[in-house]
Structures are given as structure tokens and as C-alpha cells.
Amino acid sequence: MIRLPRAPLPLLVPAMLAVALLVVPLIGLLQRAPWSSLGTRLADDAVLEATRVSLIVSFSAAGLCLLLGLPLAWVLARVDLPFPRLVRAVVLLPMVLPPVVAGAALLFALGRRGLIGQWLDSWFGVTLPFTTAGTILAATFVALPFFVTTVESALVAQGRDLEEAAAVNAAGPMTAFATVTVPSIRGAIGAGLALGWARALGEFGATITFAGSIGGRTRTLPLQAFLALESDPESAVAISVLLLAVSLGVLVGLRGRWLTR
């Protein structure tokens, strides 16, 4: 038996409407899903290729989140920065920035004529737009704040106590970080990685703006789904169901364990 707490109607009704708003589109998607041919549609060459690109891009982005985001989270949590609110806002910005704006910004910075891109091109012959590397950068740009905020809040909650204990046990700052700080927040690091990975997997707007939609190189699953929507809607629905299942799986896996501390 589910025990329902007595909720006043003026709260209950809007709450139910909100749930409906979130759930109805998903039902709409699921009722259109070609369940009997789901397997063959997902095994289609174009879809498989997009899956390959998506896996490379999302795991590379998660790796970059760990490599760059873990130090960033530590700095945000432990260092007295000038203008802390502004710094934090900049780090969180990709969460609320329209992805198209993000893609355009990446283009103006790292495009062949961009701020840094022109030097990358003329000095090293490195071109990022319309490449898999560019796709990874776009995905990392949008995924990073999810990782950083998850890890940073764990670091803030933990405080400096254990790092102090490591210091008086003759551990230098890097040793303390590696042997005490990181292992004691490994749950949050895992949660941040899962969230960042899922966000990278679903990335669309920044990718299409910065890296385009080139089969086998920059066309990830969401781009493939968008492309298929015109020509082969059932394939688009099949990809959507797959992405929905993965996203839901990540959140259900994390529920209550790390997201709420």
C-alpha cells in the first residue's frame, strides 16, 4: 500500500499538471515507437555509425571532465578566489546558455579564423570545427558544469578536516589530494561523471553549430535522430527511445545516492 500524505488541492493539482507536462511527451514518444523493429532500426548502418561517434565523444568528454573538472572543483571549493560569484557563474553558464550560442562562441574562439583557432591552424595545422575533436570539445563545454558542481558540493560538504589530518601526517598537498581527498569523494566523482557523460551523450545544439553533422565524424545519435526525423521518422523514434532509456537509467542509478547528500 502506498501511503498518500494529505496534500491540499491547490498544491496537488498543479503538481499533477507538472508531472503530466513531463510525462505526456514521453508517452507520445513511446506509443510511436516501432517496438517490433526496434532492434533492426538501431542496427542500421547509419545508426551504428552515429552510436560509435556518440560513444567516442561522450566518453572522451567525460574523461576531459575528470581531467580538467576535478582540479577546477577543488579550486572552487578550497581557494579564496577574487570575485567568487562571477567565477562560479561563468563555470555554471553552459547549463543555462542556449546551446546554439555555445556553438557559435566555440566557433568564434576555436574556428579557423577564431581567436585561438587561427593560431592552432597556422602553427600546428590543427582544425577543430567539423572534426570529432571539435565535437568532443562542444560536448565537454556543456557537460563540465554538471561534473564540477557535483564534485564541488561534495568537497564543500566534506570540509578541510581530512586534508588537515593528512597534512599533519606529513602528506604534502598533492599527496593529500590523491590519497585522501579523491578517495573520500569518489561517490560524488562517479555521480558527476555519470551526469556529465549523459549530458555529453545528449548534446545537440552546440555540436551542430560548431562541428556540423558529418557522418562518421561529428554526427552523434541526437544529430542522427534529427536528420532521420524528416526521412525516416521511425528510425528517429527508435534512437530517441534508446537515448531516453539511457538517460533514465543514469538518473535512476544515481537517485538518492549522490544527488542528495
Partner 1 sequence: MSPMAPPAVGPVRIEVRGVVRREDFTLRLDTAISEERTAVIGPNGVGKTTLLRLIAGLERLESGELKIDGRVVDNAGSVFTAAHQRSVAVAFQDHRLFEHLRVVDNVAYPLRRAGLKRAAARNRAGDYLAAVGLSEAAMVRPAQLSGGQRQRASIARALATPARVLLLDEPLASVDDQSREDLRDLLTSTEHRTVVWVTHDPDDARYADTTLTLTSRTLNRASSQP
Which residues of this protein are in contact with partner 1, per CB under 8 A? 161-162, 164-173, 175-176, 179-180, 183-184, 186
| Min separation Cβ 172 and partner 1, Å | 5
Q: How far is the CB of 149 from partner 1 (least distance, A)?
A: 22
The pair phi, psi for residue 176, each rounded to 5°, is: -60, -40
At a CB cut-off of 8 Å and minimum separation 6, what does 104 contact?
Answer: 209, 210
Which element (helix H / strand E) includes 169? none
Which of 52, 257 has the CB closer to partner 1?
257
Of 158 and 247, the one with the shorter C-beta distance to partner 1 is 158
Q: How far is the CB of 78 from partner 1 (least distance, A)?
A: 14
CB of 75 to partner 1, least distance (A): 18
First-to-final CA distance of the chain: 28
Q: Cβ 184 to partner 1, closest distance in Å?
A: 5
User: Which residue's CB is nearer to partner 1, number 40 or number 169?
Assistant: 169
Closest contact distance (angstroms) between CB of 189 and partner 1 is 12
Q: Considering only CA atoms, which of 60, 100, 75 is closest in space to residue 156?
A: 75
Q: Is the CB of 34 or the CB of 187 nearer to partner 1? A: 187
Helical residues (DSSP H) of the chain, grouped into ranges? 9-32, 38-42, 45-64, 70-78, 84-96, 99-110, 117-119, 132-158, 161-168, 173-176, 182-184, 186-202, 205-210, 221-231, 233-254
Q: Which is nearer to partner 1, 159 or 249 (CB)?
A: 159
Judged by beta carbon, residue 127 or residue 184, the one nearer partner 1 is 184
In 3D, which of 185, 110, 101 has the Cα closest to residue 148?
Answer: 185
What is the spatial distance between Cα 60 and Cα 58, in angstroms, rounded to a whole number?
5
d(CA 5, CA 19) in angstroms, rounded, equals 17
